[in-house]
Structure 1
């Protein structure tokens, strides 16, 4: 539990504080480790290119004696030195290797163990290691442990043989004392070796595990190991052995808390044992609170102890909330300390913390953390004061602290506070259980429960019932209940109240009483604007600060961030969306909220799909889908799964895509508007799996339903998809009318594209393509340009350029540049009705089902199939999918596209 009262995090979060940490001092042996858990690639030396160049440059310098590599244990000093010496030996250098030991340091002349000679053979002297050819290089591990006699002997070798040195030592070692004796011809170049950065750790994990690692897992492993290679190996090995690190949907993820395993605490136990009683006591204060104001820390520690802890870098200074605070430099230190503090000592330390706060005035008496300290110390605190502190913690975005305060409050007030804190932490089922069983029947609590029942638990009927019961029982109308009603309306097949969508001013009015409901209001406001025809207005509201990311409910923060990015994409500002989503993603990873990472990661892939780059979109979408669990808001689970399935289909994995959609369908109640999102995804799957006529027919009807129910944004998307698959003047007119009812300039460009397709106007299509490309939508630019007849060599070059921007992706319904061979052409073209019947048959529909679908007789279907078989040269339905040629633009034959209603 940190100063704010947070308990150890759940799921994929790292243990310990979430703030950035300074360099840790991990006292573990810098030796090899055997990693368990099955077949794992050898751990390479990686991310050390600059250091390697610096070592080679110093070894080649005529004015020095060599290089002293310093760094914390496990940072990879020995591995890097071995790599350089091995390569130098291959280049023809004579290598003398050894290791100093602390055990023999006081025995003169016996300070180097395992001395041996390698290399020196004839070898090519080229490449970066060529300068070492013919030289003598002496490599000694832990050279700071050399005794004076051994150091003198090494120094004699340096002077008499002109040898160069490559030494390693722990951080803080200086080239003086015994080390000075080994330097014969000049000073040593001291090269500090630091831990690996996060990006390098991600690449290393991907290499070692043989597949992609989700960003959250990589970040967690980097934060708890601080990029220390040896510690990283041990944690990964433990995760593989226990099964907590496993692969799902092709992505490696860690389920659980990587830093919480007892065996890992042993890695730092030796280091903690080296501290004296004053230092250990002070560290316990920091471990218990997680973060401690600097003034309180120095008051408790005293100047000398504080200086020693700063010097050893076991604590770090961080800034946050306007005050500087002290944290443990390494989460393993904190966890090991917490495991060793019993209940009596815990109470005693909290009493001392309370006394220090009273003397320094930091934190203040009403600060939620100070209230928690008094409760943990066993002092009498009025329940009303604890509840007020918990509410402040919840409102400030610290549900962990609110939950810990609630544990000290008896009866209904404590249970209501605890239930809200659980919901804010993504524990929807636990929160509902607490609130339902302890009188959560005020308008405020009913609103929160209704949102949680739907958003977190996909229990739409129960959510409706809770609101209806509140209305029928005469519960007062409130902004909180209004938000709950809007949330339900937005995700069912009904239009929300118009008043909620008007303007970009403060919304709703008045502000909901419950801070979590207020966060939901922000998310729903963003969703309503974005998906009810006002994406440009939503983007502008974010630009002007009228909409901001919620701070208290991570699920709503992630949903709102996704809406913001989506609004930018639909408003024609995809370049801004691509830049913003990376910032949101990094922020969500840093907060270590799996659901939030999943939601923001999904919209990263969504942006790339809109840009026509499904190959690049697959990795973030697969990562997002791998992170989805019961804590992910229900609507976002559907969005993430649908977009992942569509991406699979665009890359030719239709069978797997259909399986994913089937699994999603089983989760969605029939009366939920999200069923239509699933249907739209199925339409896209059909189009990308070679069945554009069937997809166009379904898109036509679904667009009508969307527009009839005033779901304008998705209605425009669906109508646009329909006209791309089956261009016609009537379909283009419907799209133009729908786009005019929205505020997005991108939608107007959709309508221009549709009209150019219907008219087969090559000049207009090429102009539309240029405008799409200027905005940053090369996939749509490719579609428009490919549909333009004529154009010659310049047009073909333009298509090649656009295809390159899309990484070679080309929608299957586009006309081919040329048939592969004369035999690939049908003897005569299929009629539109023949093609439609063939696509339905290829989709698996029986002749009676096709007849019912099209409103014709079974005999007509049989005759149409027979004629098509003859034209295509096939004998069975199984051959239809591969034999169907690309779908040509359709004439306006009364395709049933109605106007905007």
Structure 2
């Protein structure tokens, strides 16, 4: 497969190189970056009067007299001009390098060379660009999007963002390594289609092909003694092979393992264990930070055996919470045993926090989690520890959800950053996003209070959305999404996909939302890590997007999955599930049932005191065409922000200003249905164009006028205040022609004249 990979992602560089063949060029780049392939592709585009000839660095003729050797090269292709390409020119012998320098200096032929960046090249080759005989370009490593485009072309289908990131990172810019990994993954099933999307399944370590015995010997030698000077190694062919594969990195004539965690693993496998629990825990934390969970768990268990079971429990808890929920019962038993030991207040509070977290969110034993926190607060005397446990109690209340009780519990603790974050989360539910945004700007590390960082990031997105800053909300969701993809943290990846889809949906791009959700569904169906914590939220969003895209069967199937996977610990996300139901009914053709279900969703939110979600559900009733059933209650709710004001006004212009393109298009369509004006229908159709992938059946009921491109352009210029004469000069036509275009525009849109053009825009 590697030899047959398509050439893609380097079109700009290929165009540049093809245009510089006659002048000659030096192309530099790191190993495997694609220099050789680029050179070969460019030579296929050589002008007809050139004779392209690609030679290896060791295939040049033996040089005696430079002029004689140069003439011999040129004579082979006469009368055409020789286009000489030499790959890996940094490896040329001095005599061959001198020949190339002579050819270039005397313009006997056009010469294009590739060299490996960072490698020492013969002086004669360096002089080519130093003396400005040839220009030099440095070929950058492929970007992640370029790698993704290549993978999707090779595999003939979409690839999950996490898989693209994983393979891109492991290839480290080396396309040969990337091809090898893909070939190996296809062969052993690690790379497979899941729900129609290509995904890599298994541990990152599975990417490493089997090494030969000679390679293993070199890797172990380097791992034990790195950095190692190349001069001290004897098997240089093997060393060169490992450098080429990206397993060894060469710098200043010394090599070390490219992956420091792999070096640690090799040292461990060879019998060199860190001696103390502290050293083992340090290695475990390093592996966890790099999301190498297999190594992290191994080091943690060794640390426990070496005398620090509590420190080991910290690492193992992270492994479970970030990677493998199927291990939660096992982790709970370990934490329960540790809590029965004689512990300091800090140790007891930390372990209780972790165990309560597991009980509530991973095992759905919500009451047991709250009881554990209460028991531990009686056990510890340290105020800081008690306050941290109280914050978690409040978060549990928030997720049940009971935002008012949570806020009451958090208010006395407002000096603590975690309490500020919890307060911000409660304020979002209560419809006070403007107050919530500042509180949710505080940062807390995952190690400090695990879980709170994720919750705060999620509610920060909702706060920004509901405050009316939709671009910022989408950006915040994208950041969380990228964090999840960085290591495919499977238990929160469903949340990250659902959340980003929600923000993109409010912005009106359902095509992008469907792509994001396809990625999320592929991850879910892959079954890696048993990550189902946010599955119901994911499927609720899938149901909503499919419904709004005009897919009744897909929406119904997703809604059934959302119900099946709903978990009590995620009750705060039930609002999104309830708000999906009306749209599934609506796309199935039952508008009356859709309105009833939207009313039920509003009741669920009202019962919990979640004013923000009640407002959203009530506005769904308006969107479904029954505003009289919702507007009075919407006026009563004390939700305050530009976003909520736009909901109450049901105003397309206000939504457009906020970037809420979906709501803007829907409001404009309803307005056009009401006033039956041509200009309103045109405006509604234009707003609908800002919502790719969205199904607007009501749009077909409107008589949308069709304007030519010239009419639209002249209309915009006239609306901007330009005179007919000025517009005429711009298009080299007469003012009368401009007036005729404007008159047709007025007639089609039902406008009286120039003064009404602002309404059209």
- Matched residue, 1:681: 580
| Secondary structure class of the residue paired with 1:497 | helix
- Matched residue, 2:644: 747
- Matched residue, 1:79: 37
Answer yes or no: is the 8 Å Cα contact 1:523–1:560 preserved in 2. yes
Partners of 2:544 and 2:197 in 1: how far apart? 18
Answer yes or no: is the 8 Å Cα contact 1:419–1:435 preserved in 2. no
Normalising by structure 2, report the TM-score: 0.73
C-alpha distance 706-230 of structure 1, shift in aligned 2 (>3 A): same
Answer yes or no: is the 8 Å Cα contact 1:648–1:656 preserved in 2. yes
Corresponding position: 1:796 with 2:681: yes
Partners of 2:402 and 2:359 in 1: how far apart? 19
How far residue 190 of structure 1 moved from its aligned partner, in angstroms, is: 3.6
Partners of 1:557 and 1:705 in 2: how far apart? 27
**1:295-444 matches, cutoff 5 A:** 310-312=251-253, 314=255, 330-331=258-259, 335=262, 338-339=265-266, 342-344=269-271, 346-347=272-273, 372-373=278-279, 400=296, 403=300, 406-410=303-307, 413=310, 417=314, 420-428=317-325, 429=328, 430-439=330-339
- Matched residue, 1:33: 2
- Matched residue, 1:463: 366
Equivalent position to 1:263, from 201, 209, 226: 209
Answer yes or no: is the 8 Å Cα contact 1:568–1:576 preserved in 2. yes
Equivalent position to 1:578, from 451, 474, 482: 474
Partners of 1:632 and 1:567 in 2: how far apart? 30
Answer yes or no: is the 8 Å Cα contact 1:443–1:476 preserved in 2. no
C-alpha distance 279-439 of structure 1, shift in aligned 2 (>3 A): closer
Aligned-pair Cα RMSD in Å:
4.7
Q: Which has the higher helix share?
A: 2
- Runs (5+) with no aligned partner, structure 1: 1-31, 35-41, 122-132, 286-307, 316-327, 352-369, 377-385, 512-517, 754-767, 820-901
Partners of 1:627 and 1:525 in 2: how far apart? 32
C-alpha distance 76-413 of structure 1, shift in aligned 2 (>3 A): closer
How far residue 564 of structure 1 moved from its aligned partner, in angstroms, is: 0.8
How far residue 695 of structure 1 moved from its aligned partner, in angstroms, is: 0.9
Partners of 2:61 and 2:204 in 1: how far apart? 37
- Runs (5+) with no aligned partner, structure 2: 230-248, 342-347, 381-385, 705-761
C-alpha distance 593-708 of structure 1, shift in aligned 2 (>3 A): closer
C-alpha distance 727-624 of structure 1, shift in aligned 2 (>3 A): same
Equivalent position to 2:666, from 777, 780, 783: 783
Answer yes or no: is the 8 Å Cα contact 2:317–2:331 preserved in 1. yes
- Matched residue, 2:398: 490
- Matched residue, 2:149: 203
How far residue 254 of structure 1 moved from its aligned partner, in angstroms, is: 1.7
Partners of 1:698 and 1:278 in 2: how far apart? 66
Equivalent position to 2:164, from 218, 233, 236: 218
Normalising by structure 1, report the TM-score: 0.63
- Matched residue, 2:540: 642
Partners of 2:688 and 2:455 in 1: how far apart? 32
- Matched residue, 1:167: 113
Partners of 2:549 and 2:97 in 1: how far apart? 63
C-alpha distance 671-614 of structure 1, shift in aligned 2 (>3 A): same
Answer yes or no: is the 8 Å Cα contact 2:403–2:430 preserved in 1. no
How far residue 143 of structure 1 moved from its aligned partner, in angstroms, is: 3.5
Answer yes or no: is the 8 Å Cα contact 2:536–2:563 preserved in 1. no
- Matched residue, 1:236: 182
Partners of 2:62 and 2:617 in 1: how far apart? 80
Residues matched between the structures, number: 657
- Matched residue, 1:854: none
Answer yes or no: is the 8 Å Cα contact 1:558–1:597 preserved in 2. no
C-alpha distance 419-120 of structure 1, shift in aligned 2 (>3 A): closer
How far residue 619 of structure 1 moved from its aligned partner, in angstroms, is: 1.6
C-alpha distance 696-600 of structure 1, shift in aligned 2 (>3 A): same
Answer yes or no: is the 8 Å Cα contact 1:605–1:621 preserved in 2. yes
**1:626-637 matches, cutoff 5 A:** 626-628=522-524, 636-637=534-535
How far residue 721 of structure 1 moved from its aligned partner, in angstroms, is: 0.8
